[in-house]
Structures are given as C-alpha cells and as structure tokens.
Amino acid sequence: MSATVSFKVPSPRGPQPVTVSYARVGSGEPLLLLHGIGHHRQAWDPVVDILATERDVIAVDLPGFGVSPALPDGLDYDLPTTTALFGAFCEALELERPHVAGNSLGGLIALELGREKLVRSVTALSPAGFWSQAERRYAFGMLTGMRQIARRLPLPLVQRLSRSAAGRTMLTSTIYARPGRRSPEAVVAETLALAQATGFDATLRAGTTVQFTDDLPGLPVTVAWGTRDMLLVRRQGIRAKQMIPRARLVRLPGCGHVPMNDDPALVARVILDGSRVPAPRR
C-alpha cells in the first residue's frame, strides 16, 4: 500500500520537517528497501512480492527521488543527514531495528544504518563507496550523462523506444544486464524519475568525498555484486569484503548494476538469506 509519512530531522537550524513516500506490503519481520540515485522505489517491484511472503516490506522513495519531496532548506543530501533521516523514519513507522537492503546509493545508506546500529542486518547490492577515485569519476560521469539524456528526450520518444527490446536496451542497458525484461511502462516511469529527480545534483555533489571505511562487527552483512555491473565494477566487491571481513560476499551471475530485474529469484533469495538472523533482544 502506498503512503506518506512526515517527521522531523535535526539540523543546525533546528528540527526540519521531512515527508517520505513509501509502499508497504507483506508480513513478518520488517525489511526496508532503499533504491539508488536517480531511481525510485519501483526498482524493487520484481522482488517485492517474493520478499513479502516472509517479510513486512517497506520500499521507500528517497527524499528528492520518486514522489518523495525534496529536502527542505537546512538539510543536506549527505550521509549523516540521510542516516538520521531514516532513523527518524523508522521511529515514525515504529520499526524496531528493521532489516535493510539497498542498491547502489541505497546500499551505502544501508551500510551506514548498520554502522549506527539502527538495523539488524544489511544486504548491500553493488553499494557505492568502495570505489577508487578513478572509478568514482567514471561512475559519476556515466550517471551525469544518463541524467542529461533522460532530461532531453521528449516523452513521446521515450514511450516509442520503450515498446521494443532494442529501445529498452538503448534507454536502460547501463543499469540492467537484461533490459529487454523490463516492461515498457517501467522503463518510461524510471526514465521520467531520473529526469525529474530534484535531489539528484545535490546527492551527486555530496558523494564526491564519500568512501566507506568501517567494519561492522557483530552485524550480519551481505554484499552482492552483479558480474555484468557496468556502473560500479565488481572488483569493488572485493574491497568491500576486505573492509568488512565477516561480510558474506555473493556473486550475482549475469546481473547488472540494478540486479532485481535481471534475476528476481536470485536477488530475493540473497536478501532473505541475509536477513535470517535472530530477533534483537529488548
């Protein structure tokens, strides 16, 4: 069920009101799903129904993406703010240390939530933050180019391209290894989401100095990487494993940067396996 929730986030100017849009389905232990930069919560649609058989699934539009409004003046799109924001989001929804799975930027946020002990397990799919400077510049250049193309394409042309597998490949092959599997409606919606994301530029700027450098002792962590990831190359997964030695490192054969569409069954199994941990003591 789609809904919104409003809450306040601390800032140097005092608590600032934030509104976030999310969809919730299923039952069981709570599982928070976080998408990547320029995307929206519908990126998780291929796996949500599978996850919902065992989990209370909450898929979120990050602030300034999807239909969530931009952050108010006084709040930055940096990791400390985003981490505090999702801590407040979980309090507002009465989610006591949910499991969290994130993709790309969402994977980095998930790891930060784990570092702050706000979640009970983390599954990070191609998370940002384990790049070299050259790899970061490459990824940011690709993202900027994708954004510029999405903003310049007229909607009728996007709709026409989305009707063929070749057109869907042209529009989304940077993030999907099997773009022909994405529905025309989904491709149109995510192209518009990228073009209209009010938080895109500020989030990208905030990411220029981001490097994940902490272990997460005592927390179940899974890091999964698609073998055909064209945006964040898979050797970054080795760095993630070196940084978080107890993490489970999983290979996703034939999957791209956003693997949920490329192999929904595999990705859902990885997330569910990673979240099968004892409930926290009160």
Q: What is the pLDDT of residue 10?
A: 85
* For residue 29, pLDDT beyond 80: yes
Q: What is the pLDDT of residue 282?
A: 43
Would you say the C-alpha torsion 216, 35, 33, 74 has a positive or negative sign?
Answer: positive
Using CB atoms within 10 Å of the CB of residue 270, give its burial: 0 to 12 exposed, 13 to 18 middle, 19+ buried.
buried
Q: Following DSSP, what letter does each residue of 14-39 receive, concatenated?
A: S-EEEEEEEEEEE-SEEEEEE--TT-
Which of these CATH numbers, 1.25.60.10, 1.10.357.10, 3.40.50.1820, 3.30.70.100, describes 2-274? 3.40.50.1820
In single-letter form, the type of residue at position 160 comes to R
Mean pLDDT value across residues 174-180: 94
- Tokens describing residue 198: 């009010």
Cα distance between residue 18 and residue 60, in whole Å:
13
Q: What is the mean pLDDT of the chain?
A: 94
Q: What is the pLDDT of residue 280?
A: 45
Q: What is the pLDDT of residue 11?
A: 80
- Phi, psi angles (nearest 5°) of residue 110: -60, -45
List all residues 6 or more positions away from 242 whose beta carbon is below 8 Å from its beta carbon.
none
Q: What is the pLDDT of residue 32?
A: 98
> What would the pLDDT profile of 105-161 be if each residue is shown by its tens digit?
999 999 999 999 999 999 999 999 999 999 999 999 999 999 999 999 999 999 999
List all residues 6 or more positions away from 118 whose beta carbon is below 8 Å from its beta carbon.
83, 86, 87, 90, 97
> Residue ranges per domain, the chain?
2-274
> What would the pLDDT profile of 221-271 be if each residue is shown by its tens digit?
999 999 999 999 999 999 999 999 999 999 999 999 999 999 999 999 999
> What would the pLDDT profile of 159-172 be if each residue is shown by its tens digit?
999 999 999 999 99
List all residues 6 or more positions away from 116 whose beta carbon is below 8 Å from its beta carbon.
83, 87
Q: Please, how many CA atoms are within 13 Å of residue 67, restricted to the half-sphere of its CB? A: 10
Q: Judge whether 57 and 78 are in contact, CB under 8 Å.
A: no
In single-letter form, the type of residue at position 26 comes to G
Per-residue HEC secondary structure of 39-68 comes to: CCHHHHHHHHHHHCCCEEEEEECCCCCCCC
pLDDT band at 2 (very low <50, low <70, confident <90, very high): confident
Mean pLDDT value across residues 193-208: 96
Place of tokens 């760095």: 239
- Phi, psi angles (nearest 5°) of residue 18: -130, 140
* For residue 179, pLDDT beyond 50: yes
pLDDT band at 14 (very low <50, low <70, confident <90, very high): confident
What's the whole-model pTM score?
0.95
